[in-house]
Amino acid sequence: MFGLGTPEIILIVVALVLLFGAKKIPDLMRGLGSGIKEFKKAAHEVDEEIKDQQLENK
């Protein structure tokens, strides 16, 4: 996973808890998840439009 080992992941988690606090992390992750979901949806729509354009040009 991106060349990160267990000690690095633990250090990142500890830094996140110190910066944002344990109560805000679920909200941040929820927002990140919805952002990724929207990005994937938009990328899929663009891909479909490109495929449609290629079919029309043939």
Exposure of 6 by Cβ count < 10 A (0-12 exposed, 13-18 middle, 19+ buried)?
exposed
Contacting residues for 28 by C-beta, under 8 A, at least 6 apart? 20
> How far apart are alpha carbons 7 and 4 in whole angstroms?
8
At residue 3, the pLDDT reads 80
| pLDDT per position as a tens digit, 15-42 | 988 888 888 888 888 999 999 999 999 9
Tokens standing for 11? 């250090």
The pLDDT of residue 11 is above 60: yes
Specify whether the CB–CB gap between 28 and 20 falls below 8 A: yes
What are the backbone dihedrals phi and psi of residue 29, each rounded to the nearest 5 degrees, phi first?
-70, -35
